[in-house]
Amino acid sequence: MNIVLQDEFVSLDLLLFGLLWPLLLSFMLALKPIRSLTLQLAPWAALPALAASLLVAPSEMRWHLTGVMLGSELGLDATGKLFLLLTALLWTVTGIYARTYFSLPLQRTRFYIFFLLTMAGNFGLILAHDLLSFYLGFALMSFAAYGLVIFNGTPAALRAGRVYIILVVLGELMIFAALVLAAKTSQATTFTAVCANLFSTDNPDLVILLGLIGFGIKAGILGMHVWLPLAHPVAPAPASAVLSGTMIKAGLLGWLRLLPLGEVTLPGWGTSMLILGLMATFYAAGVGLTQREPKTLLAYSSISQMGIMTMAIGLGLLAPHAWPGILPVVTFYVLHHGLSKSALFLGVGLGGSHHLLQRRWIWLGMCLPALALAGAPWTSGMLAKMLLKTHILHAQTPWDTLLPPLLSASAVSTALLMARLLYLIRPAARLSGATPVAGLVWPWLVNLTAILLLPWWLMPTTSSQESMYIMDSLWPLLLACLVTIAVLHTKLLRAVQPLPAGDVLLLIERGYRRLCRMGNNWAGIQRILNELQQHFKTHQATLVTATITRLKQIENGFVRWEVASLLMIILAVVVGLIASQSFSL
Amino acid sequence: MNWDPLIPVLTVASSLVPGLIIFGLAEERVRLRTALNLIGALIKLALVGWMLWGVYHEHHYETRLALLPDLELVLRVGPLSLLFVTLSGVLWMVTTIYAIGYLENSPHRSRFFGFFSLCVTATVGVALAGNLITFLLFYELLTLVTYPLVVHRGTEEARRAGRTYLIYTIFGGSLLLLGTVWLYSLTGTLEFTPQGFLSDLDAEHRPTLIIIFSLLIAGLGVKAALVPLHGWLPQVMVAPAPVSALLHAVAVVKVGAFGIVRVVYDVFGIDFAIELGVTAPLAWLAATTIIYGSMRALFQDELKRRLAYSTVSQISYIILGVAIAGPIATIGGLVHLVHQGLMKVTLFFCAGNLAETLGIHKVSEMKGVGRRMPWTMAAFTIGALGMIGVPPIAGFISKWYLGLGALQADQDWVIIILVGSSLLNAAYFLPILHAAWFQKPPHSWPEDRDFGHKETAWTLLLPPLLTAAMALVAGLLATLPFSPLEWAKLITEREFYCP
């Protein structure tokens, strides 16, 4: 961290280069004559941004790009630097991984075009310090990622893509409304100005609500999370890695930028986010435990982990004075989760080997991120949870007493989830994914090394003693181990049926069907319900067709010029009459 | 000698003269015709550049010709007129290149290009008109010279569409005439004035003025395709693609919207219009049109028809911006005049390319077309995303200003309209993009024309790429000097809300 650039112009150039290079490459991929050359460069597209994230000194300084949109502001603060470091690292690792993962050049070209566009959007939103640039980066990332989600083109992928794009559009529109509302009073479009003036707007609560849901869709907030478990299993492994590793964090960054964190106490919003986060943590872990597809399980694990980060933000809204301490913890948590989750997704993609020994090695490698997520001693997970716990004390009662045990319980649930994952991908399990060749393994190993080293290097300083937490982090793990061993000795695992991915979406449908079936059992109600249903169906059908025909008729009416001219003559006569009236007045 | 009074006349003449000469040319004199067209367009662009510089430095150009006693033909160059002249000049150039490629070896090209030039002449005349009577003259001229373009193909369908078009617009024109004459009888002047020229009138005339306003808006609303006067527009899409492009982007539809801007700001004056209470109904009418047009677009399988309904919806953004009656919303409306033009012209060019190259006319035939014609579809994607309002494409800047302006004018409901419209736009554009880029292409296209290793002729490909790039740059570099947004701000400061 000692070698940093002090020259602001060189810094800006480096940042801009890191941002524009993937964009340029994706454009170059479209040009056939230089495509093979570009394909050589594409895997390394995130390197300039990685260099920038390492070399540029974080500061509160902003660069104004006059002329871009409505006056763009770029900058790299401490939060942004950590986000950029994680993001650039993961995009580099997955970029290299994808080079070998896709063997056909045509397939690779298609993948990289969307991959690079998504990457550029992701970098852009991290550097953006004004509403419009952030929104631009967010939109670019969200829309381009559609190409990654449906890349395989299977019916499941198309369905996931549909759910994804609908939620993206809804999210975009909510964010648009939130940003316009927020920009109204501030008269400026920088986040600093907007945050400061948020409470002079007519309805700050509406802005917060729209922001929470709009960004929450990306962050997989409970209720808006349905796209995650659908999209992750169908997307190619490198795409899932960045999707879960960095892209869902963009929603979180949106909250960090937009919400007036550390400035005002918002008990209502704080408590809601806290509860929502906690619910997501346990609910997603519960649903995830039933899964048999490793990538679906990992998607649920991401929702669960994002729940913890949502909770931390809720904490910040409850206790603004503690926010300067909580913010580095949240970003550290983002780093920890991003690195581990990406390694898990990339590792799951390596399960295609026929050699038992190879499978064992990979399984062992997978243990590292799994343990890190579960918060095992001396891992990034332990550090993250330890840091989080030191700040819980700032919360008001009853949260200061409730949260520590709840956090430990979440650690247990995460550990169980990871145990379930390790069981699912055990060396003896069936083959899935690609054959682990060198081109896939070494980027994965880089990712694993990053999990081991980076967190220790980038950990925010804290006064508390680590030794205390080693025991604290050990017991959830041991408990989870015991439970796992116990479960493995029963037949429980076979009995558990996986909840369908996209749980709530399907539960609603299922509940409706069950309600209908229940009605069928009672003879009396059956008849009435049937009739009602029938009536509703026919009525609905006729209503719909009638509306459509009516619309068509009206439309045809407009089109027929006779009607049009008649209408206008009538209009002219009426107007003339009224006019003559008013003249005589 | 002072050249200033000549410049507006020259601007009009730069398309009128080539148009008239082309009528007399034999069909096979392709080169001369092309040269005339391009020279005319280049001269116009040069004049536009000259005027832009002059007007920016507070220079004014005006021509007055006596038409009738008391009534003059006035051509005046102000910021607002220049915005529209620039748009039509640039798009005329691009569309001409496109039309040359599109109509290669087809019959009646002299007739086509002649009327095409006249169409631009009329549009420029409308833009430069300094009073309502001049406006009306060119407005009617536009109706007459676009008719031959609409029926150019000569098929029964085209004739029917032409008939509908003529009936609609002539009746619209007569309403406009009625309003204009009535207004003249009240005031004795029709000169476009900043802040309007009606606010001094006695209070007893107010009901009359409201009726005149409705007459003028109804007359202009026919061309601007306000619901329920929009019926002609989807029919007219049978016209050749360059005509549709010009019709939807600058000529007819835009002229209606431009006229509404003129009536609200330079005839009535915005403050007086608010006082009369006519802006709120206009805003509601525009909002209805926005939603209705998008709803109808959802169910169209024919690509050009879908685009036509999308125009119905998008044009009303301009009218909405005007009717919200606040400086920021006005900027949004005015800038959309340009932005919508750039995006819609791109979409129609692309639709024409699909039809000419592969015989694709329907959305359902567009599966996998992105692989066959990637550049065309890239331009289409930019246009479509811009219509939805995805940054950084120009449409987003319009939407942002409209939304912000509506909030500033305490009309929060507009946000719901904007969001709803964006949602509907997404609902009818995104499936097209999905089909084009991600679905498997069929074994054969309806009518595949071979262009060697290129996807289509370069005269067909270059224009949409150019306009798509302009739409992108207009949004991405929205605050550079002389960008459409900055010009719209200049108009609003100097003409509409001057202190």
Which tens digits make up the pLDDT trace of B448-470?
Answer: 887 877 888 889 999 999 999 99
How far is it, in rounded angstroms, from Cα A79 to Cα A261?
13
User: Under an 8 A CB cutoff, do A561 and B167 touch?
Assistant: yes
Average pLDDT value for residue range A418-429: 89
Residue A63's SS3 state is strand
Q: Residues B37, B41, B45, CA angle at the centre, nearest 5°?
A: 170
Q: Which amino acid is at B331?
A: I
User: Under an 8 A CB cutoff, do B423 and A177 touch?
Assistant: no
User: Under an 8 A CB cutoff, do A180 and B403 touch?
Assistant: yes
Q: What distance in Å separates residue A39's CA from the closest CA in chain B?
A: 18
Nearest-CB residue to A180 (from B163, B404, B476):
B404
Give the chain A residue nearest B409 (alpha carbons). Answer: A184
DSSP B198: -
A539, A546 contact by CB (below 8 A): no
Where residue A431 falls among pLDDT bands split at 50, 70, 90? confident
Where residue A583 falls among pLDDT bands split at 50, 70, 90? very low
**Beta strands at B61-68 and A72-75: parallel, antiparallel or unpaired:** unpaired
User: Which of A72, A146, A558 has the highest number of chain B CBs within 10 A, making it the mutation to test binding with B?
Assistant: A558
DSSP B267: I
Residue A499's SS3 state is coil
How far is it, in rounded angstroms, from Cα A212 to Cα B80?
41
Average pLDDT, chain A: 85
Neighboring chain B residues of A181 at a CB cutoff of 8 Å: 407, 415
Closest listed residue to residue B407, CA positions, set B338, B324, B295: B324
Residue partners of B107: CB distance under 8 A and separation at least 6: B27
A477, A376 contact by CB (below 8 A): yes
How far is it, in rounded angstroms, from Cα B128 to Cα B75?
5
User: Under an 8 A CB cutoff, do B397 and A69 touch?
Assistant: yes
B191, B197 contact by CB (below 8 A): yes
Higher pLDDT pick, A316 / B452: A316
Give the chain A residue nearest B328 (alpha carbons). Answer: A184
Residue partners of A178: CB distance under 8 A and separation at least 6: A206, A207, A210, A211, A214, A258
Higher pLDDT pick, A331 / A436: A331
User: Which of A27, A64, A167, A176 has the highest number of chain B CBs within 10 A, making it the mutation to test binding with B?
Assistant: A176
Bridge partners of residue A5, in order along the sequence: A56
Poorest-confidence range of A130-139, A205-214, A433-442, B135-144?
A: A433-442
How far is it, in rounded angstroms, from Cα B17 to Cα B365?
42
B8, B50 contact by CB (below 8 A): no
Nearest-CB residue to B419 (from A150, A177, A583):
A177
Instruction: Tell me: cis bond preceding A404? Omega within 30 of 0 counts.
Output: no
Where residue A12 falls among pLDDT bands split at 50, 70, 90? confident
Distance of CA A282 to the CA centre of its chain: 18
Closest listed residue to residue A112, CA positions, set A32, A29, A50, A49: A29
pLDDT, residue A569, reads 64
pLDDT surpasses 90 at B366: yes
Average pLDDT value for residue range B18-36: 88
Bridge partners of residue A73, in order along the sequence: A64
A122, A246 contact by CB (below 8 A): yes
User: Which of B165, B300, B390 has the highest number of chain A CBs within 10 A, making it the mutation to test binding with A?
Assistant: B390
The tens digit of pLDDT for each residue in B308-338 reads 999 999 999 999 999 998 899 999 999 999 9
Pull the structure tokens for residue B416. 């719901």
How far is it, in rounded angstroms, from Cα A555 to Cα B98?
32
- Helices B241-249 and B327-358 pack at an angle, to 10 degrees, of 180
B152, B243 contact by CB (below 8 A): yes
Poorest-confidence range of A65-69, A191-195, A298-302, A460-464?
A: A460-464
Q: Residues A175, A176, A182, CA angle at the centre, nearest 5°?
A: 85
Q: What is the CA radius of gyration of chain B?
A: 21
DSSP B386: H
The tens digit of pLDDT for each residue in B368-425 reads 999 889 999 999 999 999 999 998 999 999 999 999 999 999 999 999 999 999 999 9
Q: How far is CA A269 from CA A221, A262, A264, in A?
A: 14, 13, 11
**Per-window interface: B 171-200 vs A, CB < 8 A:** 171-172, 174-175, 178, 182
pLDDT surpasses 70 at B1: no
Phi, psi for residue B183 in degrees, rounded to 5: -60, -45
Given CA atoms A276, A278, A282, A284 in this order, what sign does their dihedral have?
Answer: positive
* Widest distance between CA atoms in chain B: 72
Average pLDDT, chain B: 91
Count the Cβ atoms, other than its own, within 10 Å of residue A205. Answer: 12
pLDDT above 70: percentage of residues in chain B? 99
How far is it, in rounded angstroms, from Cα B242 to Cα B116?
10
User: Under an 8 A CB cutoff, do B167 and A564 touch?
Assistant: yes
Distance of CA B319 to the CA centre of its chain: 12
ipTM of this model?
Answer: 0.92
pLDDT, residue A400, reads 78
Q: What distance in Å separates residue B219's CA from the closest CA in chain A?
A: 10
* Interface contacts A/B by beta carbons within 8 Å: 116
Instruction: Tell me: cis bond preceding B392? Omega within 30 of 0 counts.
Output: yes
User: Under an 8 A CB cutoff, do B479 and A571 touch?
Assistant: no
Residue B37's SS3 state is helix
pLDDT surpasses 50 at A1: no
Q: Which amino acid is at B114?
A: G
B179, B219 contact by CB (below 8 A): yes
How far is it, in rounded angstroms, from Cα B309 to Cα B295?
9
- Helices A294-318 and A204-219 pack at an angle, to 10 degrees, of 160
The tens digit of pLDDT for each residue in B84-131 reads 999 999 999 999 999 999 988 888 888 899 999 999 999 999 999 999
H helices of B359-457, where?
369-372, 374-388, 394-408, 413-438
Where residue A373 falls among pLDDT bands split at 50, 70, 90? very high
Closest listed residue to residue B178, CA positions, set B132, B141, B223, B233: B132
A418, A363 contact by CB (below 8 A): no
Q: How many residues does chain B have?
A: 499
Select the highest-mean-pLDDT range: A66-70, A322-326, A413-417, A516-520: A413-417
B127, B85 contact by CB (below 8 A): yes
Q: Which amino acid is at A417?
A: L
pLDDT, residue A262, reads 85
Pull the structure tokens for residue A244. 């879960």
Q: How far is CA A388 from CA A251, A271, A272, A332, A464, in A?
A: 20, 17, 19, 10, 12
Select the highest-mean-pLDDT range: A223-227, A351-355, B44-48: B44-48
Pull the structure tokens for residue A164. 């994804």
Given CA atoms B462, B366, B427, A118 in this order, what sign does their dihedral have?
Answer: negative
How far is it, in rounded angstroms, from Cα B420 to Cα B290?
9
pLDDT, residue B188, reads 83
User: Which of B181, B300, B407, B422 has the highest number of chain A CBs within 10 A, making it the mutation to test binding with A?
Assistant: B407
Where residue A24 falls among pLDDT bands split at 50, 70, 90? very high
The tens digit of pLDDT for each residue in A449-466 reads 999 888 888 877 765 555
Closest listed residue to residue B321, CA positions, set B187, B417, B448: B417
pLDDT, residue A523, reads 58
Nearest-CB residue to A132 (from B207, B235, B391):
B391
Pull the structure tokens for residue B170. 């002539």
Nearest-CB residue to A559 (from B164, B397, B408):
B164
Neighboring chain B residues of A136 at a CB cutoff of 8 Å: 391-392
Neighboring chain B residues of A584 at a CB cutoff of 8 Å: none
> How many helices and strands in chain A, by DSSP H and E?
24, 2
Count the Cβ atoms, other than its own, within 10 Å of residue B17. Answer: 17
Poorest-confidence range of A206-210, A524-528, B337-341?
A: A524-528
Count the Cβ atoms, other than its own, within 10 Å of residue A367. Answer: 15
Q: What is the CA radius of gyration of chain A?
A: 27
Note the pTM of the prediction, 2 decimals.
0.89
Q: What distance in Å separates residue A184's CA from the closest CA in chain B?
A: 6
pLDDT, residue A584, reads 46
How far is it, in rounded angstroms, from Cα A182 to Cα A516?
45
Higher pLDDT pick, A63 / A470: A63
Residue holding tokens 């980060």? A309
Q: What distance in Å separates residue B456's CA from the closest CA in chain A?
A: 16
Q: What distance in Å separates residue A549's CA from the closest CA in chain B?
A: 13
How far is it, in rounded angstroms, from Cα A468 to Cα B471?
60
Closest listed residue to residue B16, CA positions, set B110, B90, B121, B87: B121
pLDDT surpasses 50 at A483: yes
The tens digit of pLDDT for each residue in A165-190 reads 999 999 999 999 999 998 887 778 88
User: Under an 8 A CB cutoff, do B207 and A582 touch?
Assistant: yes
Q: Residues A36, A39, A45, CA angle at the centre, nearest 5°?
A: 150
Give the chain B residue nearest A188 (alpha carbons). Answer: B404
Phi, psi for residue B352 in degrees, rounded to 5: -65, -40
